[in-house]
Amino acid sequence: MSTRATPEQIGELPKIGRPATAALLAADVTTLDGVAAMGEAELLALHGVGPRAIRILRAALEREGRSLGA
């Protein structure tokens, strides 16, 4: 599946790569609130989300004093 039509970035989410962005869109996660509600294992279970995307998302949440869900 090509991700060329996927935007590089969704709203307030940081740039995490098109495959990870496409995975979040497919899961209807388009905000940091949505990311914060998910746990690391749940995010990693999304096809296209890997350790690099997790690091970037975690850093974005930490800048706001937040963290990933349990």
Q: What is the pLDDT of residues 17-51, one digit of tens each?
A: 999 999 999 999 999 999 999 999 999 999 999 99
Look at the pTM and tell me if it is higher than 0.95: no
Closest Cα to residue 57, out of 37, 36, 41?
A: 36
pLDDT value of residue 65: 95
Structure tokens at 38: 């998910």
Q: Which residue has the tokens 């350790």?
A: 51
Closest Cα to residue 31, out of 5, 64, 55, 70?
A: 64
Number of C-beta neighbours around residue 61 at 10 A: 17
